[in-house]
Amino acid sequence: MRINRASRSSLLLAELMVSLLLFALTGAVCIRVLERSGEVSRQARVLTRGVQEASSAAELVRAADSEDQARALLLAAYPQARLEENVEIPMEDGTLRLEFRQDQRITVCYITWCDGQEPVYSLEIHRAFEEEGL
Amino acid sequence: MTRGKSGAPGFFTMGAPLLLTALLVLMFVTFSLLSLSSAREELRRGELLASRNQAYYTACNQAERVLDRLTHGEEPGTALEERGDTLRFRIPIDEEQSLSVTARRENGGYTVESWTVENN
């Protein structure tokens, strides 16, 4: 009887140890998977936000009749915008950058959404502005 | 060791911890895989939205260049449908959609009357 009880106890102990090991291993793997899904989810959020912000800025540029008017519209929509040679609009979760370049008669506006310093999404808008606006 | 009144092993003796752990493990694995697949789907949708948006603005840029060429009396580089002072052209966005632009000739230039996305 004593041997039987000891054998049962050691079996239970072995079972508990196996359970604990299994739990720890799976827990470690699951934590890695959850971390990865959090990272992927964050990437998706940043990209979607970038698409939205770049599209909003693109529509403002497309609504303007000149580069100056585009800058004025951007400043009205984003009062925090810094209008220098390029336009930089800092936001809570990223920065929108707009760069205007001339390609013959066409003004090309490069719109980039940056997460920190890293560009996430870019759009190129071509506008044939009036001659005096060039 | 816990034993029932009959002397048989109780619930928390043989097999129960392993069974409980197996259930917990199954639950963890299911939740983490669901979470990962949901996040990947979210990213896939984001990328789809980004590429569609890119295709739309590429078509808009092409349309803008066509109007500029027309204004300066150059070859538009696309098929035009002309009715009097009004002309219409289509720029493909993707396999399913295209950008349809209608413009009216006015004072040596063109005024856009409609700028719409149409299904092919």
The ipTM assigned to this model is: 0.82
- Domain annotation covers residue B12: no
Q: Domain for residue B8, yes or no?
A: no
Q: Is residue B35 part of a domain?
A: yes
- Between CA A111 and CA A59 the distance in angstroms is 11
- Averaged pLDDT score across all residues of chain A: 90
Is residue B11, in this structure, part of any structural domain at all? Answer: no
Q: Which residue has the higher pLDDT, B73 or B108?
A: B73
Give a yes or no: residue B61 inside a domain: yes
The closest of A125, A119, A121 to A67, measured between CA atoms, is: A125
- Whether B16 is covered by a domain: the verdict is no
- Contact by Cβ (8 Å): A64, A128: no
Judged by a CB distance cut-off of 8 A, whether residue B17 touches chain A is yes
- What tokens appear for B105 in the block? 């000739």
Alpha-carbon distance of B32 to B26, in angstroms, equals: 10
Are A33 and B36 in contact (CB < 8 Å)? yes
Q: Do A19 and B20 touch (CB under 8 A)?
A: yes
Q: Which domain holds residue B106?
A: 22-119
Query: B9-22, pLDDT tens digit by residue?
Result: 555 566 888 888 89
Selecting from A12, A22, A27 the residue whose C-beta is nearest the C-beta of B1 gives A12
For B70-97, b where at least 16 C-beta lie within 10 A, e where not — what string?
Answer: beeeeeeebeeeeeeeebebbbebeeeb
Give the count of beta carbons closer than 10 Å to the beta carbon of residue B32: 21
pLDDT of residue A26: 94
Task: Write the DSSP assignment of B27-43 as a string of letters.
Answer: HHHHHHHHHHHHHHHHH
User: Is the Cβ of B53 closer than 8 Å to some Cβ of chain A?
Assistant: yes
Residues A2-34 pLDDT 10s? 557 778 788 888 888 999 999 999 999 999 999
Closest residue on chain B to A31 (Cα): B32
Least confident stretch, A9-13, A87-91, B101-105 = A9-13
Q: Is A41's pLDDT higher than 80?
A: yes
Number of domains comprising chain B: 1
Report if residue B9 sits inside a domain: no
Q: Is residue B65 part of a domain?
A: yes
